[in-house]
Structure 1
Amino acid sequence: MPEGKIIKALSGFYYVKNEEGITQCRGRGIFRLNKVTPLVGDQVVFQAENKREGYLMEVAGRKNDLIRPPIANVDQAILVFSAIQPNFNPLLLDRFLVLIESKRILPIICISKIDIITVEERASIEQFASQYRDVGYDVLLTSTDDQQTIDLLLPYFENKLTVFAGQSGVGKSSILQTLRPDLVIKTDEISTHLGRGKHTTRHVELIEIGNGLVADTPGFSSLEFSELEVTDLSNCFPEMRRIHEECKFRGCTHLSEPKCAVKKALDEGSIMEYRYENYLEFLQEIKDRKPRY
C-alpha cells in the first residue's frame, strides 16, 4: 500500500502527499477505537480507492507532537515576535521557548517589524538579540519591507518540517506571504483597542517553502506547562542545561540549594537575571498546578 505525509487536515479529511500527488483520505474507524488521532505531519500508510480518494490504514510512530496546534514530527519552530505593535515581550518569548524545548524541537527566534522602530528601540532589540544568541539561539531581525531580511529564513527550511508560531499580530502570515507571494493568506490589521492582532489562520496546513515544509498554524491556544514537571524545567533553559550537572545536589531546583552552579553563574553574570526570574515564575506556576488524576 502507498505511503505519504499528511499535509492538511480539514473537516474529517486528511490530505496525504505521496508519489502520485495528493490523496484525500478518511480515517478508519479503528483509529477512534484505539484513540489515535492522525495529525498533520504524520507519516501514514493509506489505501487508495482511486488517484484522489482513499482511507488511512496506519500511522507511523512520531518523534514528537503538538496538540494545540495539532501537528507531528516537527523539526524546528520559528518563533516570530515583533519589535513593536505588540511590543517585544521576553517573558512570553521564554514561555514559548520552554514549551518548544520541552518537545525537543529546535527553536529559532525571528523578531519582526524592525523597520518601524526608533533608533533607541533598535538598540534595545539588538541587545536582546545578542543575549539570546549568547544562550545559543539563532536570532533573525526581519522586516517584510526588506526582502533580504526575509530571505535569511530560507536556508533554515531545507529538508525540515517547520512550525511558525508566536503571539497573534506579529506578522507570521505576512512573512509567509513575502516568502511565497503566490500564497493566499488572510492577514488582519492590529486591533488598536486590544493591542493585538486578530486570529486569521484557521487550520494547520503544510506548504512548500525553500525545499522544506512549513506549517502556518493558528498559534498555541494553550501556553500552560501542563506536561512539564519541576525537575524538567531547567532542561528547557539551555544556559542552565549546560551546567546543571555541576550543582552539588541532583535534582537541584536552583532556588536556595547550596553550591548551585546556576546560582553561581547568575552571580557571575553568565545567566541573564530576567531569564532566571522567568524561570522562577514558571517554576512556581508548575508547583501551583492542580494535580491531575
Structure 2
Amino acid sequence: MEKGRIIKALSGFYYVESEGRTVQCRARGNFRKKKITPLVGDIVGFEAENPTDGYILAVADRKSELFRPPIANIDQAILVFSAKEPDFSPLLLDKFLVHTEAAELESVICVSKADLGLEKADPYLSAYEKAGYRVIITSSETEGQVNELLPVLSGRLSVFAGQSGVGKSSILNALKPELKLETAAISKSLNRGKHTTRHVELIHMPDGGFVADTPGFSSLDFRHVETETLSAMYPEMAARINDCKFRGCTHLNEPGCAVKQAVKSGEIPAFRYQSYKQFYEEIANRKRRY
C-alpha cells in the first residue's frame, strides 16, 4: 500500500499526490460503515494499478480538520477580508475567528483590496493585533504587498477562507500567476461576490507549502461551538476568565465579571464583546430548538 496526500476532491474522485505523481482514486465502500469521509489534506494509504484507477484504503489520524470548508491537517487559516467591495465586516471576521479558534488553528488576518481604501477596516485592525492576531494588508494590484504572504505560507498547509468576492483567487493569482484562477466582480446591488471556486484544492506555493483555495461562503453555523466554551474562542476574554468572581461566568449578567470590566475600561473593544453576545444568543437559540 502506497501513501500520499489528497490534494483535490471532485465529483466523487480523490486526487492523491504521491512521490511526484497524482493518482485519481475512489474511496472503498467500507468508509461509509466507519462513517469516515476522506478530506482534502488527508494523508491516505492507497493502491493503484494506473494513474486513473486507484482506491483509498486507509486514512491516517488528523491533527486538525474543518467542516466548512471540508479540509484536514491544516496548519493555519488565512482569513481574507476585503477593505471594500464587499465592505470590511468585523462581525463576520469574528465569526470566522471563533471557528478557527474552535479548530485550534492559528489564524492570520489578510485585508485585501487595500488600493480601494482602508478607512472602513482601519478602526478595527489594531484591536485584532492587540488580541494576538497577525494582520497583513495586501493588494493584488501591488505585487510587493501580496508577496508579504509568501514567508507566512512557506512550508505549511494553509487554508484561504473568507466571504465570496473578497479577492482570494486574485491574491493566489498574484502569488502564483500560472494558476490563472477564475475571478469575478462583485454584485453592486448585493455587495457580495459570485462563487468562483467550486471545489477544495491544494495548490503548491513557490516557496514550499500548500494553500487550499476554497469555495467562498458568507455564513457559518455554530454546530461545533457551545455557549460554555464560546468566550475561550476570544483570546482577550480567555486571558481574563479566571479573574471573574463566579466560576462558569457567562460574561453577560454576573457581578464581578472581569471581562465586562475590561470592556468598560476599553481593554476589550466593545465591537468584540457585542459579537460575543450575538453569537452566544445564536448558540443558545440553537440549543433551545434542538
TM-score between the two structures when normalised by the length of structure 2: 0.95
Distance 2:52 2:218 in 1: 33
The answer for the alignment partner of 1:237 in structure 2 is 234
Correspondence for 2:44: 44
Q: Say if 1:221 and 1:42 are closer, same or farther in 2 by CA, change over 3 A.
A: farther
Deviation at 1:239? 0.3
* Unpaired segments ≥5 residues, structure 2: none
Whole-Å separation in 2 of the counterparts to 1:41 and 1:292: 34
Report % sequence identity: 56
Q: Which residue of 1 aligns with 2:181?
A: 185
Structure-1 separation of matches of 2:159 and 2:34: 27
Deviation at 1:152, TM superposition (A): 0.7
- The one-letter code sitting in structure 2 at the alignment partner of 1:35 is K
273, 278, 287: which one pairs with 2:275? Answer: 278
1:115 CA drift (Å): 0.8
85-94 or 259-268, which moves further after superposition?
A: 259-268
CA contact (8 A) 1:68 1:219 kept: no
Map Cα deviations across residues 85-128 of structure 1 (whole Å, 9 max, x no partner): 111111111111111111111111011111122xxxx3553332
1:203 aligns with 2:194: no
- Residue 82 of structure 1 corresponds to 82
Residues 1:220 and 1:195: Cα distance change in structure 2 (over 3 Å) = closer
* In 2, Cα distance between equivalents of 1:52 and 1:184: 25
Residue identity opposite 1:125 in structure 2: A
Tell me if structure 2 keeps the 8 A contact 1:68–1:222: no
Give the secondary structure class of the aligned counterpart of 1:255: coil
Tell me the alpha carbon deviations over residues 11-43 of structure 1, each in whole angstroms, 9 at most, x when there is no partner.
111111111421111111111222211000001
User: In the alignment, which residue of structure 1 is the partner of 2:142?
Assistant: 146
Which residue does the alignment assign to 2:161? 165
Q: How many residues align?
A: 289
Structure 1's consecutive aligned runs of 4 or more residues displaced over 4 angstroms after TM superposition are 290-293
Match of 1:154, SS?
helix
Instruction: Give the distance between the partners of 2:63 and 2:218, measured in 1 at CA.
Output: 22
TM-score by length of 1: 0.94
Mapped partners of 2:12, 2:120: distance in 1: 46
Q: Is the contact made by 1:24 and 1:52 (CA closer than 8 Å) also made in structure 2?
A: yes
Quote the residue 2:260 is aligned against.
263
Aligned with residue 225 of structure 1, among 204, 222, 225: 222
Deviations 1:242-265 (A, max 9, x none): 121121222111112122111121
2:211 equivalent to 1:214? yes
Question: Do the aligned residues in 2 keep the contact of 1:69 with 1:221 (CA within 8 Å)?
Answer: no
- Amino acid corresponding to residue 225 of structure 1 in structure 2: F
Q: Deviations over 1:47-99 (max 9, x none)?
A: 12235532111001112222221111111111111111111111111111111
Matches within 5 A, 1:50-129: 50=50, 53-117=53-117, 122-129=118-125
Gaps of at least 5 residues in structure 1 are none
SS in 1 for 2:121: helix
Structure 1 CA distance, aligned partners of 2:14 and 2:160?
A: 21
Q: For each residue in 1:108-157, what CA deviation from the matched residue of structure 2 results, as whole angstroms up to 9, or x when unmatched? A: 1011111122xxxx355333221210111000111111111101111111
Are 2:2 and 2:46, in contact at CA under 8 Å, matched by a contact in 1? yes
Is contact 1:68–1:220 with CA below 8 Å preserved after alignment?
no
Offset, 1:267: 1.8
Whether 2:130 is the aligned partner of 1:134: answer: yes
Distance verdict in 2 for CA 1:292–1:15, change over 3 Å: farther
CA contact under 8 A between 1:39 and 1:72: conserved in structure 2? yes
